[in-house]
Structures are given as C-alpha cells and as structure tokens.
Amino acid sequence: MRVLVTGATGFVGTALVDHLAANPAHQVRCVVRRSSALTPDRVERVEIPEITGDTSWSRALAGTDVVVHLAAKVHDLRASGPESVGAYRAINTDGTLNLARQAASAGVKRFVFLSSVKVNGEEGQFNESDAPRPVDPYGVSKLEAEKGLREVAATSRMSTVVVRPPLVYGRGVKANFRALLRAVARGIPLPLGDIHNKRSLVALDNLVDFLTVCLEHPMAANETFFVSDGDDVSTTELLRRVGAAVGKPVRLIPVPPSLLMLAAALVAKRDAMHRLLGTLTVDISKARESLGWRPVVTMSEGLRRTVAGGIV
C-alpha cells in the first residue's frame, strides 16, 4: 500500500511515519515544507512549501493509494478577530478540500483526515451522533473541512475517514502538557488537588495505531470516529499519574475550583483554567464495535513513554 502523509514532520506525523515505514507492506511518501527536513531514509519525500486552496498535488499523489492528512494550522494565540477565521479556513478547509479533490481525481482509494474534538466544542461528553458546536476558528475550519470531505466522497470513488482526537500526549509533546510535566518533575506545588472533572486524552501510540487501522478497514469508509485511551480522568488524577510516571510525588494543594477561576480571570487566564477544570470526554464505543479497535497502551504506559522521551 502506498501511503501519502502530510504534516509528516510534526508531532503526530513523525510517529505515524516511523510506524508505517516499519511495515514492509507500506510504501510511505512524506510531504515536507523543505527538502532539508529530516525524515527516515526509507521513505520518499515530496516538497510542498505551503498548503492552500491552489496547491498542486500531482507529483505527491502519483501512484498513491491512501492519503493521511495531518497538516493543519493549529492554535495561534496571537490571531484573533475575523482575519483569524480566514487564516484557519485557508489551510484547514480550503487546503484540505483542494487536496481531497485532487486525490479523488488521481484515483486515491481513501482519505484519512485528522480533525479534532474541538469540532464538538470545548466542554461536554461527546459521541459521534452529537451535533457539532465549535467555538473557535480552528474548530470551525475543521468542521467545514469535514463537511466538504463528505461531499467529495459522495461524488467520487474515494472513501473518507474523519478522526476526532482529544488532547494528544506522547514523546515530544509541547505546550501546556509539557509545562505540567515539568512542574511535577520539579516538585512545584500545584493548586489542583480538588478537581472532580473528567477528561479524555489519547496517547500518541494509540492515535497512531488507530490511524493505521483506518487506512484500509472496510467499516471505516465514510465514517467519523472519536479516539482516546478509553480511560477518562480528573485533572487531579491525571497529575497523580504524571507523578508516578516521573517517579516523584506530586505536590497538590486542594483549592476550590471557584477560587481558581476567580484568580485566573484576574490574570486573563480564564480560558486556560477552564480547560483544566472543565469536563471533556469522548465515547470510543463506535471505534471498538465497528473496527474492533482497542487502545494498545494504557494511559499510565503512555505517560511513562512521554516522560522517557524527555521533558526538559
């Protein structure tokens, strides 16, 4: 099977390419922005400097059986207002649908699209039948891409698969999750000892395995799936598990969530605190029942591998 992976040098893409290339049944072609980008020697590279609604994909798609589209404009805290909507849409919507239409014309059999739980919203308990309610430009652009992909599938012989993960963690994780790992490793006291929410997460190894299943499973065609570790935890419990993975006791101070929100509002961090305190879970029953998929690592093992990858 010849697989084209966009976003191949990113957090998820690097792990997916390594996983696919280890299987002799896969011929992997990576889309990179620069010819100097580091990729495994055993995979082919195609340079695509930017992804827009006008990008030509003919060379990348030649002979391709399956496209896994990971490349996207992710959260830009500096972007706001109407301009930011257009910036997300240009890459995540127009760029995705341009690639999908060209893929269908080139005879690609399947298009696997990495979307996001943010299509559904920022808080709640979701399954695939729930109506999407994105609240930011990123989620809106991903939802518009999903809708467009369904139209492409309906008018071509190419099937599409949409995968909506929650927060992904693993070797090389960045941003807020990495900051939490560092805080626990350094023994910094955290005022998160009395949080009773529920959060779904997905280990990088579990996401990569699920994407691989979606490459050719017949029951995945033209479907949307949530994926997670299948082990929802409170923020307090997550930090305890992080402490176990780091090998240090986590120093948690019980502070009422209402006081935390008040303090966060005073320093303009209300949204970030809301993500720590709110509930966001996904139901992976469909993935289990339709595809026979099960997480390949537990959350504890996923955290251990994350820490082993380095958090400095």
Q: Give pLDDT tens digits for 126-175.
A: 999 999 999 999 999 999 999 999 999 999 999 999 999 999 999 999 88
Burial 201-236 (b: 16+ CB within 10 A, else e): bbbbbbbbbbbbbbbbbeebeebbbbbbbbebbbbb
Beta bridge partners of 199: 233, 280
pLDDT at residue 143, rounded to an integer: 98
- Find, among 223, 198, 196, 195, the residue nearest to 210 by Cα: 223
pLDDT, residue 9, reads 92
Angle, CA 283 vertex, CA 281 and CA 287 arms, to 5°: 140
> What distance lies between CA 195 and its chain's CA centroid?
25
Fold for domain 2-164? Rossmann fold (3.40.50)
Task: Provide the angle, in degrees to the nearest 10, between the axes of the packed helices 175-185 and 299-308.
Answer: 80
Distance of CA 271 to the CA centre of its chain: 20
The three-state secondary structure class of 252 is strand
At residue 93, the 3 state secondary structure works out as helix
Low-confidence ranges of the chain (pLDDT < 70): 35-41, 75-83, 264, 267-268, 312
pLDDT at position 103, please? Answer: 98
Q: Which of 233, 273, 234, 248 is nearest to 189 (CA)?
A: 248
pLDDT at 80: 52
Q: What is the DSSP letter of 132?
A: P
Residues catalogued as catalytic:
138
Q: What is the pLDDT of residue 77?
A: 46
pLDDT digits (tens, 9 = 90+) for 78-101: 555 555 788 999 999 999 999 999
Decide if 44 contacts 17 (C-beta within 8 A): no
Under a CB-based contact definition with an 8 Å cutoff, are residues 66 and 108 in contact? yes
CB proximity list for 270: less than 8 A, separation 6 or greater: 261, 264
pTM for the model: 0.94
293, amino acid identity: W
- Radius of gyration of the chain, Cα coordinates, nearest whole angstrom: 20
pLDDT at site 269:
72
Residues of the chain with CATH 3.40.50.720: 2-164
Alpha helices in 188-256 (DSSP H): 204-214, 235-246
Q: Where are the alpha helices (DSSP H) in 157-198?
A: 175-185
Nearest 10 degrees: Cα torsion 194, 276, 69, 144: 120
Give the separation between CA 306 and CA 169, rounded to whole angstroms.
Answer: 7
Hunting for tokens 């599409």 — which residue is that? Answer: 160
What is the rounded distance in angstroms from the CA atom of residue 277 to the CA atom of residue 295?
25
Q: Are strands 27-32 and 44-47 parallel, antiparallel or unpaired?
A: parallel
CA nearest to 208, candidates 10, 6, 15, 1: 15
